[in-house]
Amino acid sequence: MEDLELVARFCFAPNLKKYCGPEVSAKIVDSIFGDFQDSEFLRNAFSKFEGMFPYLNLIASSNGKSAFDSEAVQAYWLGNSLLENVKTKDWKEAAFKMLENRDWPEEVKQKYLSQISPNFNPQHSFHAINTFLHTVKEPEVLLDRFNNCIISWGRVLQVEKAELTVVKKQIILNAGKLELGEFVVERVKNTPPESSKQLVDCEKGDFVAMHWGFACKKLSQAELENLQHYTLKNLKEFSLL
């Protein structure tokens, strides 16, 4: 079964910021709340997300599923066992095709491809880290990109109409390695721009996933454990030295 809503929940924020995909953020947001239900339009729009779609397609095809299958979408954004079935050879081929039309120097493309190995998994965190690692030079900006683009998790401390207060760990750089630092308290948006509709229905004590400053989804225990496992596995393998 397809889960276009879950795709929308995680990709609307970078689309809103014009980082990924065609400018369709209003329709993506409306689809989250059931106010826009043109599945063909959404599939077409999501297939133009130059980072997300090649990975969704890779994960899905490696498991005999369609690109927007619920499990494949979960695997890319949160992580699950479908990632284990992706062969490194297929991953490299998919990434090579993905990068063909990227306006990156050839050296940067080769660095991206060289990181793909059995030590990593093709969850979103890999693409986020591997993209910014080779395209952003300033350490402070790099960590900001990591902490915004990588799907993070946090426990809800307070629920307000338009925002959530959460406690979470930020990604830090320690001796050339990425790791999670101390707990910090942050406020994240829980309504889209110019809307009073809440993105996530949650309570104090719940865990939520976040992307580019917006709450995306309330996490079940299994989803939380998967997100932690696959994200941390990728984090610890990257070296910035």
Q: Which residue has the higher pLDDT, 239 or 161?
A: 161
The three-state secondary structure class of 192 is coil
Query: Per-residue pLDDT for 69 more than 80?
Result: yes
Domain that holds residue 232: 4-237
- The string of DSSP letters for 24-89 reads -HHHHHHHHTTS---HHHHHHHHTT-TTHHHHHHHHHHTTT--TTBHHHHHHHHT--GGGGG--HH
The three-state secondary structure class of 190 is coil
- Distance of alpha carbon 216 from alpha carbon 238, whole angstroms: 26
- Distance of alpha carbon 203 from alpha carbon 199, whole angstroms: 13
Structural domain total, the chain = 1
Nearest 5°: CA angle at 96, between 92 and 97?
120
- pLDDT value at residue 239: 83
Q: For the chain, what is the radius of gyration of the CA atoms?
A: 17
- Distance of alpha carbon 131 from alpha carbon 71, whole angstroms: 24
- Distance of alpha carbon 172 from alpha carbon 181, whole angstroms: 6
- pLDDT value at residue 72: 99
Mean pLDDT across 96-108: 95
Sequence-distant (6+) residues with CB within 8 A of 33 are 197
- pTM for the complete prediction? 0.96
- pLDDT value at residue 238: 93
User: For the segment 212-229, what is each residue's pLDDT rounded down to a tens digit?
Assistant: 999 999 999 999 999 999
